[in-house]
Amino acid sequence: MGSKSDWPTMEHAATMLETLGVPYETKVVSAHRTPDLLFDYAKTANERGLKVIIAGAGGAAHLPGMVASQTSLPVLGVPVQSKALNGLDSLLSIAQMPGGVAVGTLAIGNSGAKNAGLLAAQILGTADANLQQRIDEFRATQTQSVLDNPDPRDQ
C-alpha cells in the first residue's frame, strides 16, 4: 500500500487472505515517496515467490499501475477512499490504465480490499484444489448466513 494510512482499508484484504489460509506479506511502498523501492519491490516480486500483488492507494493513485509496469504478475488495484474526493480520484487513476499494462481494479474502500483478497485467492485457487475448496466453503457459509437471517429487523 502507498501509506500506513491505507492500512485500515487494506487490512480487509489481509483478513480475507487469513480467512482463506493464503500466506501473504504487507508492506508500505509509495509510488511518490519511495519510487526506487517501488521499482525494486515490483521487479523482484516474481523471483521472491509472490504470485499476485494487491496494491492499494488513494488520491493520485499511481502505485498499482507502476507496479504492473514492472512485473508480469497479476496486479489487483484497490482505490482507497480519499478525504478530498471520496476515492473517485483513486478509482479513476487506478482504473484508467492505458492499453497494454493491466491492473484489475476493485471497488473503492473496504469492499474493494476485501474482494481483492478474495480475487487473489481465486486466482491462486486455479492451481490449488484445496484452496478452491476453502473458497467454496466460504461462499457457502456466506450464502447460508443470508438465508438464515431474512428479516432485516433482526440483528
Binding residues: 3, 6, 33
- Is residue 6 within 8 A of residue 83, CB to CB? The reply is no
Known binding residues for substrate: 3, 6, 33
* Whole-angstrom distance, CA of residue 133 vs CA of residue 144: 16
Task: Pick between residue 90 and residue 124 the one whose CB is nearest to ligand RP5.
Answer: 90
Restricted to residues 58-87, the positions that interact with ligand RP5 (CB under 6 A) are 58-59, 80
DSSP string, 91-129: HHHHH-PPTTS--EE--SSHHHHHHHHHHHHHHHHTT-H
Toward ligand RP5, which CB reaches closer, 5 or 143? 5
**42 versus 80: smaller Cβ distance to ligand RP5:** 80
C-alpha cell at 54: 494487491
Say whether residue 117 binds ligand RP5 (CB under 6 A).
no
Residues that bind ligand RP5 (CB under 6 A): 2-3, 5-6, 30, 32, 57-59, 80
